[in-house]
Structure 1
Amino acid sequence: MNMTTVTKGLSRFVLRTSVALPLLLAPAVSVTVLEAVGVSGSFAQAQAAEQKTRKTPAMRESAFKYLGKAQEAADAQNWQAALAALKEMEAGKDKLNGYEAAQMYYFYGYVYYSMEKYPQAISYYKKVLQQGEENLPVALEVGTLLTVAQLYFVTEDYKSAIDYLNRWFKVSDTVNADSYALRAQAYYQLGDNAKALADINQAVSMYEKEGKVPKENWFGLQRFLYYEKNDYKQVANILEKLVKHYPKGEYYKQLAGMYGELKREDDMLHMMEAAYIAGALQKEKELLNMAYLFMGAETPYKGAKVIDKGIKEKKIERTSKNLETLAQAYQMAQELQKSIPELEAAASMSDKGEIYSRLASIYLDLDKNEKAVDMGAKALKKGDLKRPDQLYIVLGMANANLKKYDDALKYLKKAKDDKRSEKFASQWIAFVESEKEREEQLAM
């Protein structure tokens, strides 16, 4: 094998071992590191551009043979054989120059990473850096710093990850938005929210200046950090971007909540309605809150439809209280005919007579006096009424309309016993007595 052949093979080998880890690392690590794959992916270009800026010892044929043997085993994913070749090479490490040792340790790191033995991988990658600048191509040093930082992410040693990231920031000329986002997440994991916010803001700003849409999880971290600062205006601004670029029902709900905090009631209603349309409101409490918002915004019919649909889909429980709210929404929307069946169902399920009392009043207004009397009787039977005097007046008037004057007077006199209704009841008593007398005279 002549030296030209060795040199060509060596170039291919160094490129393969130097680039392999950052590219292979992504699938096995957390989302944080995965998002930084753009940083790692720049390593090959960096090596090609920078290797000529630092002279390093050449790799000799004897060292290349060992590494080639390890590479062959690694290609077959025979990690034990790869380690055996490397250990055989390491046995003669006194004869290796600094560059050869660095490549050997780098390959050790790669093999241990591939075996998911991350602490051992970190240890060997750090040995690469210990060979000193005079033995390391610039790109190998830069790439190894980032690789160690990424592996510390995998092992959740975020302090060490930041230490190596900061070293990498100082020497790399490929720092980009992904780099800042990666470091932001490390600072966040350590609880340093101020530095995390500064870095994630930088990442977002760099993307936006290039006309690119920042990544969803960048906005997510940014939103959380501003929320921790109680900066709801900024949180709303970020959520508006999320709704625009990554429309999800959850973001509509969160933005509606922020509009509520900012006293932007109209915007809150519109955003909640968007969340409802998007199907993001599934829980009973959420759906009822949506209905209450519609009712409060003087669009009660929309509120009634939300409750009605929720009950039919069994997302809202068919309870007396919920049916009463549905009936109330219909009443507010001047849909009395739709409210009555719901009120009657609610009344039958209630252990109190209050709803029957309301029904008696509604039927009286509709001039359905017999129904009013019937509902009033049910109300009295169930009892526990807030204002029985008002029900007595309703029953008095309904019976009077039916010309049942004795029954009317009986209820009106009961109403008169309550000072709150005394005056009104007295007027009706006088009227009913005169009508009774008139009817009796006509009968004669």
Structure 2
Amino acid sequence: MASIIVCSAPHDGHVSPMLGVARRLIARGHRVRFLTGPKYAEAVRSAGAEFLPLGPGADEPPKSTDATGMQAIRDGVRLLVIDPARGQYEPLMAAVAAEPTDAVLAEISFMAASILSRQPRESRPPVIACGILPLTLSSRDCAPFGMGLNPGKGPLSRLRNRALNWFVANVALKDTQRQVNEKMRELGGVEPDGSFFLDWARKADLFAQFTVEEFEYPRSDAPDNLRFFGPMARHGVSGGAKPDWWEDLDGARPVVYVTQGTVSNEDFTALVGPTLEGLADEDVTVVVSSGRRPLAALPPLPANARAAEFLPDAELLPKVAVYVTNGGYGGLHYAMENGVPIVVAGDTEDKPEGAARVAWAGAGINLKTGRPKPEAIRDAVQKVLSDGRYRAASQHIGAAIAASPGVDGLIDELEAILR
């Protein structure tokens, strides 16, 4: 039995896949201490792990930001990475010092793990970086993370990518890099070595990306420690009381499922409202999840719409013809696992990257905005419903997800490292 620390920032989309890893580690006989915010203490203990609380400044999720483009990356790094760093690093190092620790698994935004990975290997446990976001690694074959640009093909695209990567590292995010360097020096005594902060997982003992290669841009310069395991949280949530309108999903009309997730759902005029308006006169049934917010916060529902605060994805998605989303990474994988084509409209945080990959993979349409017009959603849904190539592409990725090694594959690699 190994003693393992699992680390996550206190956000549903970060904690959920890491809890999937923790549950399976415990089932395979390992001891798990789970470091995250107090909001998730009960969920951690229910999974069979020991709860470790994050320190001040890291124990609560930051407010979401409406910034887009490079400003979204700057804000995201400050809010998710730099500001919580001390509240992550001090309890992590205290837990490592308190008793023997065989490995640390941390999701990619957890800065304390990046600091730990830079310590001499003989003085630290193995660090496993877990990619819960679209792959952040810089590459000559891809545009920089955050721009939402497809990699392109041929020498001109590679030249464009090289220029953009230089610009982002040396101009657009130069000050952000400086702040990261200062925080690493302050907390861990780590001196800058010229590496870009989004590339820290190159120094981990294993970089476990939670997707399949079919949903990620090829990188000829990918590091040797990168492995694709597929999504950790498979099939979505199932069970629980179903809404009284559930029997309306009888297959008589195509079902369009729209949600803004559980984080970016404070303003339903961004995506849910335009979807309801755009599809009000269409021969479809629109199903809305409010992401646990009160239904009274939703816009008025047209006659062809049904709503619930929470819906069991595992049982709903097999009934769905089109998934309309702002691009959360977990939701995209749930849809593709079920072969459901996607209309995606997201332009904050990491969402432009997920949206760009949906279009690149052919699994859906990227509306390239977080506030689409009703007619744009209507046209995209009609196109996806009428063109079977989108569903076929989503099913192709779904088959790759089904064949991917998942949590057990990750644990096999971890156990090999420990041996």
Give TM-score, length-normalised by structure 2.
0.24
Where relative contact order (Cα < 8 A, 6+ residues apart) is larger, the structure is 2
Q: Which is richer in strand?
A: 2
**Rg larger for:** 1
**TM-score, normalisation: structure 1:** 0.23
